[in-house]
Amino acid sequence: MTRSALERLDAVELARGLARREIRAQDLMRACLDRIAEREPQVHAFAHLAADAALEHARQLDAGALRGPLHGLPLGVKDLFDTHDMPGAYGSPIYSGHRASWDAAAVALCRDAGAIVVGKTVTTEFATFHPGPTRNPHDTTRTPGGSSSGSAAAVADHLVALALGTQTAASIIRPAAFCGVVGFKPSIGRTPRAGMKLLSESLDTVGGFGRSVADAGLLASVLTGDARLQVDAPDGATVPRVGGFQGPDWARADADTRALWDRVSQRLATLAPGSSAVATPAWFEPLASLQTDLMLHEAARGLTDERLRHADLLSPRLSANLSAGLAVSATAHATNLIAVQRVRQQAASLFGNHDLLIAPSAIGEAGPAADGTGDPVFCRAWTLLGLPCLHLPLGVGRHGLPIGLQLIGRFMEDERVLQAGAWLHPRLHD
C-alpha cells in the first residue's frame, strides 16, 4: 500500500487492515514518520519524537500476536501524560527533560491494546493558556487551539492515526474545531487520570482525537474499557432527537458559526424529527464563571510546588492566573464545589425529550497564532457538567479554515453521543 493511500485511511480502516495483516505496522509507521519528517518543521506537533522506538515496536507487533483493537496504530500522546520510556515536560521549562518511572494509565491502556506511541505531542504550559510552538496545519500562521495543540494538529495532518488529549476548559473540543478533526471528551470520571499532570481535579478529563467519529470512539473504547463506544456509522441507527442549544454566550459566535448553525438546524429539521431549539435555563448562565473560578483555584493549589520553587519558570500569564486562583477564597471554593455537585445532578433536565444537544464548539475559525489558542467560552459549562462532548468538523469559514459544532450527551451516555455522531456526521457535513 502506498504512503498516500495509508494516509487517506482513518484509524478504524487502518485497524481493520492491520488486524487482517493486510497492512504491516512497520509500513504504516514508516509512512507516518515520512510524513512527520516532511511536515513537522512547519507544524511543530511534537515535543518529543520517538521514531526509532516506534519503528521497532511496529516490527515487534508485525512479528507477534494481535494485541487488541489499536494493534499497530500510531498514537500521539499529549505531553501531559507520563511514559516510562521517553521524556515529558508538561509544556513547562520546569520539567524540561523530565523522565517518569511509569506509563500513565491512559497510555498503558492504549499500549496494551496495541497502539504504538510515536511521541509526545505539544501541550500548552501545564494545559493552560501559554501556547507551545504548534501551528495549525491548515494555515501555519494560525493557532491549532489548545491545550491539546500537538495532538489535534498531528491527527489533522495525518502524522498519527489517533492522539490522546485532556480537557479542563476547552482543551479537546477547541483544538479539534480549529484543526478540523473529531475530538471526544468522555463523561468525567470514566477515563483514568493516573500518571498525568493534574491541573484541576474537578474538571480534568482524558479523551482524544481521530479523523472520524468511529476513530474517536475506538480510542475512547480503549480508555474506558467499554466496547459499546466502538461505533460504526449505522444506517439503520435510531434517528436521534437533537436539541439545539445556543446557550448564554451565543452573542460571541461569529458570522461563520451562525451561518453553519442555520444550515445545520435546517438540515436537522428534516433529517431528525423531534429536533428543536432548547432554551437556556437560568441556572446554566453562571456555569462558565463557576468553571473559571474552580479551575483557577484548583490550578493554584495543585501547582503549589511549581509556584513556590520555580516561580521564575512560569509564564507571566500563568503566574497571573495562579494569583487569580488564590484570590478565590477557600470558603468560596467550598461553596463552588457544592454548586458543582448540584448542577451536575441538574444537567439531565437540559435534555427534555432530546437524546442529545448540539452547541457551538468555538467562536469561529482559528485565529492568528500570535493571539493565543482561542477562547474556551463555548466549552466551559459542558466540562463543568462533566457531560460527554463530541466535536464534529462540518465545514469551513471565511478563510477556508475548519469550523464545526459539538454534540453533548447525558452523563455516562457516551456511546449514544458517539452513535448519533457517527450517523449525523456525514449527513450534516457540507
Please identify every residue annotated as catalytic: 78, 147, 171
311 binds a second copy, rule: CB under 8 A: no
Judged by CB, which is closer to a second copy: 142, or 190? 190
- State which of residues 234, 273, 334, 429 lies at the interface with a second copy (CB under 8 A): 334
Among 8, 16, 21, 228, binds a second copy (CB under 8 A): 228
312 binds a second copy (CB under 8 A): no
**Is residue 8 involved in binding a second copy (CB under 8 A)?**
no
Over the window 169 to 198, marking each residue x when it contacts a second copy by CB under 8 A and - when it does not, the resulting string is ------------------x-xx-xxxx-xx
Q: Site map for a second copy, 351-390, x if CB under 8 A? A: ----------------------------------------
Shortest Å, Cβ 301 to a second copy: 5
- The window from 33-41, 140-148, 280-288, 339-347 that contacts a second copy (CB under 8 A) reads 339-347
Task: Write the DSSP symbol of residue 23.
Answer: S
Q: How far is the CB of 208 from a second copy (least distance, A)?
A: 16
Q: Which is nearer to a second copy, 197 or 354 (CB)?
A: 197
* Residue of 286, 249, 233 lying closest to 428 (CA atoms): 233
Strand ranges across the sheet with 74-78: 46-49, 116-121, 74-78, 162-167, 205-210, 182-185, 389-396, 402-409, 356-360, 242-244, 276-277
Residue (333 or 380) nearer to a second copy, CB: 333
Tell me the pairing of strands 242-244 and 182-185: unpaired
- Distance of alpha carbon 362 from its chain centroid, rounded? 13
Provide the minimum distance between the beta carbon of 228 and a second copy in the complex, in angstroms, as a whole number.
Answer: 7
Burial of 97 (0-12, 13-18, 19+ CB in 10 A): exposed
Please select the residue that binds a second copy; options are 279, 311, 327, 330, rule is CB under 8 A.
Answer: 330
The site string for a second copy over 194-223 (x = CB under 8 A, - otherwise) reads: xx-xx--xx---------------------
Torsion, Cα 333 334 335 339, to 10 degrees, reads 90
255 neighbors 398 (Cβ within 8 angstroms): yes
Which residues are within 8 A (CB) of 82 and not within 5 positions of it... i.e. 6 or more apart? Answer: 88, 100, 102, 103, 104, 107, 195, 196
CB 377 within 8 A of CB 368: no
Is 275 a residue that touches a second copy (CB under 8 A)?
Answer: no
Choose between 35 and 197: whose C-beta lies nearer to a second copy.
Answer: 197
Q: In terms of residues, how long is the chain?
A: 430
66 binds a second copy (CB under 8 A): no
Distance, CA of 297 to CA of 201 (rounded, Å): 11
Nearer to a second copy, 279 or 330 (CB): 330
List the grid coordinates of 94: 520546569
Interaction between residue 327 and a second copy (CB under 8 A): no
Q: Is 305 in the site for a second copy (CB under 8 A)?
A: yes
From residue 215, alpha-carbon distances to 154, 346, 370 in Å are: 14, 31, 31
The CA distances from residue 230 to 110, 197, 201, 417, 423, in Å, are 14, 28, 27, 12, 13
Q: Which residue type does 203 have?
A: L
Nearer to a second copy, 8 or 228 (CB): 228
67-106 residues in contact with a second copy (CB under 8 A) are 84, 95, 98, 101-105
Q: Does 309 bind a second copy (CB under 8 A)?
A: yes
Cβ within 8 Å of residue 150, ≥6 positions away: 44, 45, 46, 47, 76, 78, 79, 120, 121, 122, 123, 132, 134, 144, 163
Residues lying near a second copy in the complex (CB under 8 A) are found at: 84, 95, 98, 101-105, 107-109, 111-112, 187, 189-190, 192-195, 197-198, 201-202, 224-228, 298, 301-306, 308-309, 329-331, 333-335, 337-338, 341-342, 344-345, 411-412, 414
